[in-house]
């Protein structure tokens, strides 16, 4: 009796997995957006996508860097002094980034 229930549960699990696989494969655009939305918060979508497109950088690369460096917390400061979403060192910003991109102001 228990073996029958185990087989039925196993078959149900396999069917659910196949159904989920078919759902995600047929709606791959939806699935990608669903997974991306859970992985990369979109509070900064306007800024990230505008600037990524302007500088010819893949937006998901920018999101990945932000996630790795600050976990999408804008006010994080590292023990070394790096600031902001992408954890830029103030000296690097002042000497390299601001001049090359024609920016001025605070890096955070």
pLDDT confidence of residue 79: 92
Q: List residues bridging with 88 in a β-sheet.
A: 83
Q: Report whether 104 contacts 98 (CB < 8 A).
A: yes
Provide the pLDDT for residue 24. Answer: 66
pTM of the predicted structure, to 2 decimals: 0.59
- pLDDT (0 to 100) of residue 106: 60
CB 84 within 8 A of CB 70: yes
Q: Which residue positions in the chain have pLDDT lower than 50?
A: none
Round to whole Å and give the CA distance between 63 and 66: 5
pLDDT at residue 50, rounded to an integer: 92
What was the pLDDT predicted at 2? 75
Per-residue pLDDT, 25:
65
Look at residue 5 in the predicted model and tell me its pLDDT: 74
Half-sphere exposure of 101 (CA within 13 A, CB side): 14
Which of 30, 47, 56 shows the shortest CA–CA distance to 86?
47
Q: Could you identify the residue written with the tokens 């992985």?
A: 39
Q: Which residues contact 94 (CB under 8 A, 6 or more apart)?
A: 107
> What count of other Cβ atoms lies within 10 Å of the Cβ of residue 84?
19
Q: According to the model, what pLDDT value does residue 86 have?
A: 92
């Amino acid at each position: 009796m228990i073996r029958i229930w185990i087989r039925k549960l196993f078959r149900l699990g396999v069917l659910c997995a196949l159904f989920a696989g078919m759902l995600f494969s047929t709606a791959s655009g939806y699935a990608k957006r669903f997974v991306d939305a859970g992985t990369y918060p979109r509070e900064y979508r306007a800024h990230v996508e505008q600037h990524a497109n302007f500088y010819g950088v893949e937006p998901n690369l920018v999101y990945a860097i932000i996630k790795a460096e600050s976990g999408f917390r804008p006010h994080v400061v590292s023990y070394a002094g790096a600031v902001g979403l992408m954890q830029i060192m103030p000296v690097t910003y002042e000497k390299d980034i601001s001049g090359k991109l024609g920016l001025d102001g605070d890096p955070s």
